[in-house]
Structure 1
Amino acid sequence: MTIRKGHQGHKPPSCFTPRLICQAVAAALCVLTLPSLHAQEAAKSKSTEDATNQSSRERDRILLKRNPIASEYQLLEAPGGVYGATFDAEGVDFRSQFSLPTGKADAASMRLEGNLNYQEYAEEVVPGGSLNLAKSFGPLSLQFSAQRNASERIVELYQARWLSISQPQLADNDVLLMGFPRYSQDTFDTTSINMRWRADYRLSDDMLLTYEGLSVNYDDLATRNRLEFQNGVGTLSDLQLGSDGSTITAATIDNSQIRRYYHQTKTARDINRHRLGFTLEQDTGSTEVGFYYSRWQNSSAWLPWNFFDRGVSSQYNIDDPYLPDEQTSIDLYDVSNATFANYRPSYTTTTDTDYAVLLDWDRKLTLAGNDLWLGAGVAWRNKTRDNTNETQVYNATSDSFTLQQLTGNNTSNSVIDGQYQLPVGMDTSLGEDYFAAHRNEQFAINLAQSFLESIQNLYTSEETVSSAYINAYQQLDSWFWRAGLRLEKTKTKTHGAVSGPSEADIWSQGEPITQFEIDGEQIAETFDSFDAAFVEGHNSYQHLLPSMELRYKLTPDFKLKVAYFEQLMRPQYFDTVRYRRINPPMRTISEGSPDLEATSIHNLYAGFDYQYSDDGRLSAGLYYNKVANFFYDSVTTEPLDGIIYDVSRVENGKDGYIQGLQAYWSQEVAFPAVDSAKLQLAYIYSDSEANLQDRKITMPERAEHRLALSLTLADEYWQYASQFSWQSKALDDVGQTAAQDTIREAVLVWNQAFTWRFDKQWSTKLSLNNVLNTPDRSYQGEKSRVVNNLYSGSSARLSVIFNY
């Protein structure tokens, strides 16, 4: 496995100041004089949203399909959109992976951009840039886009695991203890070089042959400095029960321990995608044939270290639930007693290979003097995911060492927006060299645990979707109707590893795993503690998906609309693999769910669209979504060797619904000293219910309220854009009981951008993201039981653009 990043230690955060913005502005203007700018590789410059600046939440979802009913993915647009029969039921369209438009005749253009990226906690200015070219040669049109995106960021967070324990002297039912509060600082140094190209060859006026390609080379170096108080392993006394009757708000703990955790993760991601298409466009109909191939490979080296302070006495209280107070009997800032416990380097490569074929046809027919469009098509797509892993578990020997030997030049850091002083942490860039120099004396490999943790992460998953559809639509004087029917057949095949004690007869379930290569040596499975086997899985199902849309023009400006359609959301590719992964340092277990079924969503909408003036539009409607077999993240607990582990898996709920109101308003308004001003507002109200096996909940990831607001002001030479979004609290993860459900608090985001055009060729743009730096917070059951308080910081990008 090749990782392209170098080494990096921790960087201390500090406050965001106007002085630093001014420095960034001045530096961006200097970029115009840099000769290297013309050589910088970059992708499409109009987009600033890519993997280098995505949120921490999205970073953790890099291998996941998006949930179509989650509030955070609802857009600022008019309601009533319909997934008709021509659309894949999951919304998968390989054509959407490519963003360059159809080439124009007589095109000859160039767009060059240099930009600087800045985040308030990292206090580093990182350059990027882009180049767009377009040129036509008779019937052949060529386009090329290159972009270099880069960023350095720091994210600060407080998290906690709450343990359910029995305390009969306090309450009849179990109460929850703040068992593992943790304070962390994460750093990210990312670079992405994206290239896109497109060639259009016009065979005739109505025939077009297209080839598109995409290449992404992404590198990421991430580090973590974490301090974790392990109250849950100590002896409890002086417990105080909160007014909710279920939360221990204060406690004294004896003989506990502190875990100091550090990691460095190096990631290299390579994406290559290709599309070949042929289209025939005529007045009486069209035909499209398309072929697609993609290879997505993500290689990572995760290098985690654990140090422990043992025999610690402490007290905690949650007077401030977002930043609890924990007092200890030791000096937290003296790391000379933090003794090495284990080092677990893990090397993982995930490879996705995709193929797709599409044939689409439509024709115009005339019936009773009216035009009727009739279409049909077939589509086939296949994805195979292959995951390989090698994990080496090294424990301490009698020749122990402490954290003090690996702090380098690091110092303590102020985190959680300056509210907590995190002790000095390990300089992770020193870790690999120290391990190589002292491997034989101070690191003892645990072959059994290395074997087990490696095979737990080996799997392949294949999904094939074959579909056929028919579609018809017609425009009459005041009426428009569309109807369609789509058949989708899905086949899945999985291959994963299971393990268990010898008496469980694991080998009878599949192919025995008798050896595995660890650190270049073949290790035979002769361990008494477990047996392991590769297990195959298969599934097959099909869905018949009708769709209907009816519009009526009551007046030229007022239209009514009714629509019905169905969507699917198939399980994540690895969730159906039979596996069980145990992470002892984190005290977590994750499991596959081989019996997961696809979620089906029946959508009904009725509303209107009113163009009440040349500058104003109002759209609103009522919707009802019936959801069957919805997915939710289940988190339960399980004791292993006397230690309580959090067990997470994806499960199917029974059924549920989402109903409510969608509204969209757009208005151009008169504004002093401004040529144009446009205001857009979108709002979604959701009332939801979901049925589990034993209780009812709100639909996971669906907020009751979602509001998005956009303001654009423009004059001859400048434009200002402001985007604001807010959503109310929502259920994020489902626990064993309602008291253990994780609720994500309200989310507030405000982004701004200002563009100034000097002349037809030169312009500049300043973008400010997450201006308010509102923390991402969640709690477990009660607001006093906070489990996440994350600050991601504000960021800025300053661009200078040249068009020719």
Structure 2
Amino acid sequence: MKKYLFVCLALISLGAAAQTTVKGRILDENNFPLPGAVIAQEEGRYTVSDFDGFFSIYIDGIESVNATVTYTGFENQEIVLDPASDRIQLVVLQPSVNELDEVVVSGFQGGVVKSLNKQKNDINITNVVSADQVGKFPDANIGDALKRISGITMQYDQGEARDIIIRGFSPGLNSVTLNGERIPSAEGDNRRVQMDLIPSDMIQLIEVSKTLTPDMEADAIGGSVNLVTRSNPNGFRLSTSISGGANPVRDGGFNRNMTFILADKLSDKLGYTLSASHNTSDYGSDNIEFEWDDSETPELKEQDIRRYDVKRTRRSIALNLDYDINSTNKIYFKSIYNSRDDWENRFRVRFDDFEDGEVRIRKQTKGGIGNDRNDNRRLEDQRTYKFAFGGEHQIGKLAMDWKYSFSQASEKRPDERYIRFDQKGVAATMDTSNAEFPGFIVAASDLNNTSEFKFKEAQDAQKTTEEDNNSFRINFQLPYSENDYIKFGYKLNQKSKMRDDIWYEYEIDGVDFMSNTSTDDYTVPGYLPGSQYTHGQFATAEYLGGLNFSGGELLFEEFATGNYSADEAVNAAYLMFVDKLGQSTTVIAGARLESTSLDYVGYAYDEEEGANSIADLEEIAGSNNYSNILPNLTVQTKLSENFILNGAYTVGIARPSYFELVPYQAINSADLEIAVGNPDLEATVSNNFDLMGEYYFSNVGLITAGIFAKDIDNWLYLFSDDDYQFRGESYDYEQVRNGRTASVNGFELGLQTRLSFLPGFLGNTTFYGNYTYTNTSTDGVAERGDDVPLVGAAENMFNASLAYESNKFFLRASMNYAGESLDEIGGNIFEDRYYDEQLFIDLNATYSINDRVRIFAEAKNLTNQPLRYYQGLADRTMQLEYYDINWNVGIKVDLR
């Protein structure tokens, strides 16, 4: 390594006198950066501007040279590159007007232009969405914005897009980065980033990379999403928006939103960007759930009728500082803080133990302590913060950049409370004539007679999850001919994660029946799954929150084996060559080495043996070490100025979740269940093949077609066995295991264009659509001889939108469809769990009063699309949850 660095430094010293680096920035007429602009010298040397519009280009000798800046949708501009200047050269482009097509680059089209230019000049296969485009969709969080990108679908929680699926790959096989660095996960048992934690207003650009390059982290088999925050202003900007709306699923369900952006240059060297966002929503959901028994005629084992009342508040603030030391050296500081408080009450009726025409009814109230923070509700307090300090330097011909970052994600659930009452032997009829809406039928008097519901349990839980991530990277780039360069670097990621939960169970003096408590009827008028599902009387959330718990007993079976700690270190190094072959072809060839080490501690608990204290729990430690060499070959050919062909062979990995590796052992004798961890899990490795063609229209549009294939080894699935023999009885056994191989192949089609052929004002209509087909198969699922699809893979995905834009008015209707996908592999086909198809239709409009003030309105989920899972067959409902439509109206002021 020392010898290699010596050779590099020698090359620098030899070329420093002969070449000079000129740096500049490409902006539009409003001082906003233009990413993906091409700056080309007359003799052929060229470069492309980055996310913030900056570029760096070499000049032979000390004389000024001419260059041309090109950007689709803008007029070409001739510039002079002066190597004698020590200042960053600013270039302001003017939008072009094609008299034939009457294309005016403004408003939404301006956002499209930025995205297409960046995407066009990326060598790997990407999809880019700018802040201007995000702002034209009714998306409060970044997850809702992502679902509109080709090949992407989202999984939902309480009606909001949370977990990302790319090309059919489940969330654990994709990565999410913020300004190029991984975001830690606030969830306790996986690496997934909850996308509904991040407000869309905080993001300047979204870049989805479907193929990797060696300088990117390799743990992204499906793809990598990079969220770029606002930074590096070129002048003063002040922008704010305020909106409010309604969620009709609950009386009094309202939305309140506010965003604020302030940016300026304090001097010609120092700039800052301050962004803040606040969003509060009061809403809920109507939910029914079922568990089916595999008998000759399928019957219900269990049924839930659930009411959720939710209040969710997001707060986000970001501060970015940029300091230009001179034209060849700059440093920066980037920071962001996100918090999401989720207050929830749940009222659940459960029917089970059906036998001889009688059923048990269990009623549970879920809430929290009655203090100012919890307010009688379960509080899920999730927070992430991240700060980074880095620099970019030019030393002769050598470009160097470095960054140190620290991030933390946490989730705390303080004083989460439950109280349950049971009634046995209730006369009931099972109705499965309609498997989509089955249920047990009981008399209303049995459902509401509080004196017959006997006190069963009261519990209080304290839950904490935390993940810390320290990261340092350094990259070097050295040209060795006119447009060719070598790039190499090193990165260290150090992570630590822990989950520390504790549960107590309490007796309540003087409470033998529900009638001894404060009760209320929580039946929802117009309950969305159907009026046949009713809730009746429950102990109130206020009663539960006001209980003075004392003298509780530890409930080990609820938390003992879920707690763990893990430390992970990933050392990575890469080397890549970027070669320009002739005038039209660019090749990236290289490899990345990632070395992973992991240490973890878990616990074992057997209910039969029990425990007297936490100290009595058996602690199990383990470790794992492995390395992966990941080759990469990417080729881009420009068949013409606007017709581009991208091809790639890449190798990616996906590390198992921390908790899947922890060697925990949970034995539940009462329910005959065993769950164990698997410290022998291997990382999933995928060989990826991609080919994508893109044709860019002159009137700011794009048509794409591509194919992809992935050969996967050691994919992960949840193995289950309902006849696992233990202690002379049949137990339900679960463990995450490696399958042998899986294959994925598919294609993508996309079209984005203005319908200029339509008559009159209709010619200002824009269409955007994309379709992705994914076919998957797997091998190596234990005790399954059938061809099981890959978990999380939706076969069909389709997005479309139709928009009309004039100088002042903008109207858009958008649709998002994703087909069904396997969610969990059962012991047989009957037990397989599927995430059902979903179709969302949204509508939004904007009217510009003047250049600085806009009013807007938006309506989401016009189809009242529920979250639905089914068991084995599509008509056999496992879970069905409705959220109803919601809408917002507001005003946005941009003082610039």
So what's the TM-score if we normalise by structure 2?
0.72
Q: Which residue of 1 aligns with 2:355?
A: 235
Alignment of 1:402-801 (within 5 A): 402=514, 405-408=517-520, 410=522, 413-426=525-538, 428-433=540-545, 435-436=547-548, 445-447=552-554, 450-475=555-580, 476-500=582-606, 515-516=613-614, 525=616, 532-581=617-666, 591-611=676-696, 614-637=699-722, 648-670=734-756, 671=758, 672-674=760-762, 676-691=764-779, 692-694=781-783, 695=785, 696-801=787-892
Structure 2 CA distance for partners of 1:730 and 1:751, relative to 1, 3 Å: same
Output the amino acid matched with 2:571: S
Structure 2 CA distance for partners of 1:152 and 1:64, relative to 1, 3 Å: closer
2:451 and 2:513 in contact (8 A); partners too: no
Q: Which residue of 1 aligns with 2:140?
A: 48
Q: Which residue of 1 aligns with 2:434?
A: 320
SS in 2 for 1:331: helix
Output the amino acid matched with 1:693: A
Alignment of 1:150-549 (within 5 A): 150-164=280-294, 171=296, 176-230=298-352, 233-236=353-356, 253-254=357-358, 256-264=359-367, 265-280=378-393, 284-301=397-414, 302-328=416-442, 331-366=446-481, 370-394=482-506, 400-402=512-514, 405-408=517-520, 410=522, 413-426=525-538, 428-433=540-545, 435-436=547-548, 445-447=552-554, 450-475=555-580, 476-500=582-606, 515-516=613-614, 525=616, 532-549=617-634
Distance 1:61 1:768 in 2: 14
How far does the alpha carbon of each residue in 1:633-658 deviate from its partner, in whole angstroms, 9 at most, with x for none?
Answer: 44544799999986554332211101
2:243 and 2:258 in contact (8 A); partners too: yes
2:206 and 2:226 in contact (8 A); partners too: no
1:628 offset after TM fit, Å?
1.4
Distance 2:683 2:162 in 1: 15
Distance 2:604 2:160 in 1: 25
Q: Which residue of 2 aligns with 1:33?
A: none
Output the amino acid matched with 2:602: G
1:219 offset after TM fit, Å?
1.6
1:350 offset after TM fit, Å?
0.8
Structure 2 CA distance for partners of 1:776 and 1:66, relative to 1, 3 Å: closer
1:373 offset after TM fit, Å?
1.4
SS in 1 for 2:517: helix
1:227 and 1:258 in contact (8 A); partners too: yes
2:168 and 2:774 in contact (8 A); partners too: no
Structure 2 CA distance for partners of 1:283 and 1:587, relative to 1, 3 Å: farther
1:800 offset after TM fit, Å?
1.0
Identity of aligned residues (%): 17
Report the aligned-residue RMSD.
3.6
1:283 offset after TM fit, Å?
9.2
> Could you tell me which of 112, 137, 155 is aligned with 2:266?
137
Distance 2:141 2:511 in 1: 49
1:334 offset after TM fit, Å?
3.0
Q: Which residue of 2 aligns with 1:519?
A: none
1:738 offset after TM fit, Å?
1.3
Q: Which residue of 2 aligns with 1:31?
A: none
Structure 2 CA distance for partners of 1:318 and 1:130, relative to 1, 3 Å: same
2:156 and 2:163 in contact (8 A); partners too: no
1:197 offset after TM fit, Å?
0.4
Structure 2 CA distance for partners of 1:731 and 1:120, relative to 1, 3 Å: same
Q: Which residue of 2 aligns with 1:10?
A: none
Higher deviation after alignment, 643-652 or 328-337: 643-652
SS in 1 for 2:451: helix
Higher deviation after alignment, 763-772 or 180-189: 763-772
1:259 offset after TM fit, Å?
1.1
SS in 2 for 1:295: strand
Output the amino acid matched with 2:288: Y
| Correspondence 1:85 to 2:85 | no
1:199 offset after TM fit, Å?
0.6
Distance 1:794 1:586 in 2: 39
2:573 and 2:592 in contact (8 A); partners too: yes
2:155 and 2:164 in contact (8 A); partners too: no
1:560 offset after TM fit, Å?
3.0
Structure 2 CA distance for partners of 1:719 and 1:732, relative to 1, 3 Å: same
Distance 1:502 1:229 in 2: 27
Structure 2 CA distance for partners of 1:717 and 1:404, relative to 1, 3 Å: farther
Structure 2 CA distance for partners of 1:666 and 1:788, relative to 1, 3 Å: same
How far does the alpha carbon of each residue in 1:451-484 deviate from its partner, in whole angstroms, 9 at most, with x for none?
Answer: 4434223211222111000111122312221112
How far does the alpha carbon of each residue in 1:635-682 deviate from its partner, in whole angstroms, 9 at most, with x for none?
Answer: 544799999986554332211101122211222112442563221221
1:51 offset after TM fit, Å?
9.0
Output the amino acid matched with 1:311: G
SS in 2 for 1:453: helix
Q: Which residue of 1 aligns with 2:243?
A: 115
Structure 2 CA distance for partners of 1:638 and 1:296, relative to 1, 3 Å: farther
So what's the TM-score if we normalise by structure 1?
0.80
Distance 1:211 1:321 in 2: 56
Mark the runs of 5 or more structure 1 residues left unpaired by the alignment.
1-43, 166-170, 237-252, 507-512, 517-523, 526-531
Distance 2:672 2:419 in 1: 15
1:413 offset after TM fit, Å?
4.4
SS in 2 for 1:735: coil
Distance 1:146 1:478 in 2: 44
2:236 and 2:263 in contact (8 A); partners too: yes
Distance 1:147 1:730 in 2: 34
Higher deviation after alignment, 69-78 or 383-392: 69-78
Distance 2:736 2:162 in 1: 12
1:154 and 1:793 in contact (8 A); partners too: no
SS in 2 for 1:673: helix
Structure 2 CA distance for partners of 1:378 and 1:179, relative to 1, 3 Å: same
1:786 offset after TM fit, Å?
1.5
Distance 2:539 2:869 in 1: 30
How far does the alpha carbon of each residue in 1:764-802 deviate from its partner, in whole angstroms, 9 at most, with x for none?
Answer: 222222221122222211234221112122222222111
Distance 2:145 2:504 in 1: 31
Output the amino acid matched with 1:684: T
1:312 and 1:328 in contact (8 A); partners too: yes
1:394 and 1:446 in contact (8 A); partners too: yes
2:231 and 2:273 in contact (8 A); partners too: no
1:219 and 1:268 in contact (8 A); partners too: yes
Q: Which residue of 2 aligns with 1:12?
A: none
1:179 offset after TM fit, Å?
0.3
How far does the alpha carbon of each residue in 1:516-554 deviate from its partner, in whole angstroms, 9 at most, with x for none?
Answer: 3xxxxxxx75xxxxxx31111211111111111123333
Mark the runs of 5 or more structure 2 residues left unpaired by the alignment.
1-132, 148-153, 177-204, 368-377
1:463 and 1:573 in contact (8 A); partners too: no
How far does the alpha carbon of each residue in 1:714-757 deviate from its partner, in whole angstroms, 9 at most, with x for none?
Answer: 11012123321212222111001112111222211122221111
Distance 1:584 1:758 in 2: 68
SS in 2 for 1:371: coil
Distance 2:663 2:648 in 1: 39
Q: Which residue of 1 aligns with 2:123?
A: none
